Amino acid sequence: MTVVSLGRAFTAAAERDPDRAAVSADGRTVTRAELEQLANRMARAFAELGVTEGRYVTIGLPNSPEFYAAVLATWRLGAVPQPVSPRLPDRERQEIVDLADSALVVGADADTHPGRICLPVTWRPDGALSGEPLAQDRVSPAWKAPTSGGSTGRPKLIVAAEPGVIDLDLPAGMGVRHDGVMMVPGPMYHNAPFSYSTRGLVLGNHVVTMARFDAEATLAAIARSRPDWMLVVPTMMLRMSRLANRHEYDLSSLQVVWHMAAPCPPWLKQDWIDWIGAEHLYELYAGTEAQAVTVIRGDEWLSHRGSVGRPIFGEMRVQDADGRVLPAGQPGEIYMRPPPGKVTYRYVGAEAKTSVDGWESLGDMGWIDEDGFVYLTDRLGDMILSGGANIYPAEVEHAIDEHPAVQSSAVIGLPDEDLGNRVHAIVHLRPGETAGDDELRAHLLERLVRYKVPRTFEFSDEPLRDDAGKVRRSALRAERLQR
């Protein structure tokens, strides 16, 4: 057993093979030695700016070598990396920074967040700072703290229970190799791309990524970089699948391809099975909270079409609205719990939905068959999954309702062939007021990251909420699906 800090693990990889590629993004590649030096300089700069052990460092950088260097620097100080979208509006980022009480915000202009030290996207550490490792090897008390919205429309932190250490003698798991090549085109502020790519990096993997996903650029990068492992979401799968020239690109290096974060249409999954081989395609279902995890490989899925697999960690069960545990085959709300004595996360800014006997729900609906395979049907709540991103209607509605012409609003997800769901807003204007799509969209772009802004709007003459202020989003969605 060789347990070391995550920062020290990458140092070991750099010492072992300093000239091997560490990160490639948008045509630029840095070696392990170059990334090691940048991370150490960042760590010294962060320390001079007041980052100390256990504090959160909010990182809002695009996928790039600098993003990974900032994460490594944070770990080396024993601090906790807290990734966010680089396109967040200042106000939305402010809520997260306040929740985390961030010691440093990387990727925000100076004075953006009063009382916080901010470094812009273009910032680089002083070249005079030593690139040598820090004298003291610190361990982060939590190795990550990604964010999520919530049914209330307020952000929360999902803080990992595991400290920032890794056992170099154990297999990486999930098909990740030591010293392999990983294609991870998704944004690093999402939990899965962050988690798999950063841990793969410290185990010596060459991580290939891009600032923004492009289907053909991804296929070209696979053919060029020869990754053995890839992580995608169904929207990416669809866009790559629909390229007329997709078969011109050699994907034979891929041994493991994971998809997760959103439901995958069976026809699209079948297409990928036919394209890369059933034994190479894997699906994972879990929350960032990771109380329980299911996995299914493509050949197993062919015998259980539509399933997301059986739990490989923790347990899952299905309950009805009254809390009764349901037998196999009956749909209800999925509840999870980790193995006995295991804690996987804690919330900052929220409370878990918990049954009387301690099982937790993430709000998913589904059923479990006689063999223990889990099938998802819908969300209990109203969260919209669009392009692999979680979008909470209440957050969008709160921003819409801030417009002076708006009386109330309701936000729902409608089917979209490309994204899975598109965000659709129904708006009830105040008497005598006017506001069009473009005006509302401009209003929202000042308050929300772009992917949360509704793609379509409609205007209603009828009130959307009852006297208690409640809105039935599921009914509104059903009405529009029947039109």
Q: pLDDT for 275-302, tens place per residue?
A: 999 999 999 999 999 999 999 999 999 9
* Domain 384-481 = CATH 3.40.50.20: no
Residue 466 reports pLDDT greater than 70:
no
Element (H, E) at 228: none
Element (H, E) at 155: none
- Those residues with Cβ within 8 angstroms of residue 395's Cβ, 6 or more apart along the chain or in another chain: 149, 153, 154, 448, 452
DSSP 97-140: HHHHT-SEEETS-TTSSTTS-EE-TT----TTS--SPPSS----
What per-residue confidence (pLDDT) applies to 470?
Answer: 64
Give the predicted TM-score (pTM) of the model: 0.84
What per-residue confidence (pLDDT) applies to 104?
Answer: 98
Reported as a single tens digit per residue, the pLDDT across 218-232 is 999 999 999 999 999
Percent of the chain with pLDDT over 90: 77
Cα distance between residue 197 and residue 194, in whole Å: 6
Q: CA 438 → CA 397, 425, 462, distances in Å? A: 16, 13, 22
On whether the CB atoms of residues 88 and 26 are closer than 8 A, the answer is: no
Both structure tokens of 40: 């150490």
With 0-12 CB in 10 A as exposed, 13-18 as middle and 19+ as buried, what is 48? exposed
Closest to 360 measured CA to CA, from 370, 347, 378, 374: 347
Element (H, E) at 240: helix 234-241
CATH 3.30.300.30 intervals, the chain: 384-481
CATH 3.40.50.12780 intervals, the chain: 3-262
Cα distance between residue 112 and residue 91, in whole Å: 9
Mean per-residue pLDDT, 19-39 = 97
Label residue 468 by pLDDT band (50, 70, 90).
Answer: very low
Residue 250 C-beta-side C-alpha neighbours within 13 Å:
7
- First vs last Cα of the chain: how many Å apart? 61
CA angle 157, 160, 164 (to 5 degrees): 125
- Number of Cβ within 10 Å of residue 51's Cβ equals 24
Mean per-residue pLDDT, 82-98 = 94
Reported as a single tens digit per residue, the pLDDT across 400-426 is 988 989 888 999 999 998 999 999 999
Pairing of strands 56-59, 104-106: parallel
Cα distance between residue 380 and residue 365, in whole Å: 6
- Those residues with Cβ within 8 angstroms of residue 106's Cβ, 6 or more apart along the chain or in another chain: 57, 58, 59, 60, 61, 70, 118, 119, 123
Mean per-residue pLDDT, 54-76 = 98
On whether the CB atoms of residues 246 and 219 are closer than 8 A, the answer is: yes
On whether the CB atoms of residues 396 and 426 are closer than 8 A, the answer is: no
Cα distance between residue 400 and residue 396, in whole Å: 6
Residue 318 reports pLDDT greater than 90:
yes
- Number of Cβ within 10 Å of residue 18's Cβ equals 14
Reported as a single tens digit per residue, the pLDDT across 141-170 is 999 999 986 444 578 999 999 999 999 999
- Number of Cβ within 10 Å of residue 479's Cβ equals 12
What per-residue confidence (pLDDT) applies to 135?
Answer: 80
Label residue 338 by pLDDT band (50, 70, 90).
Answer: very high
For tokens 């965000």, name the residue: 423
* Domain 3-262 = CATH 3.40.50.261: no
Least confident of 51-60, 128-137, 318-327, 435-444: 128-137
Cα distance between residue 258 and residue 233, in whole Å: 8
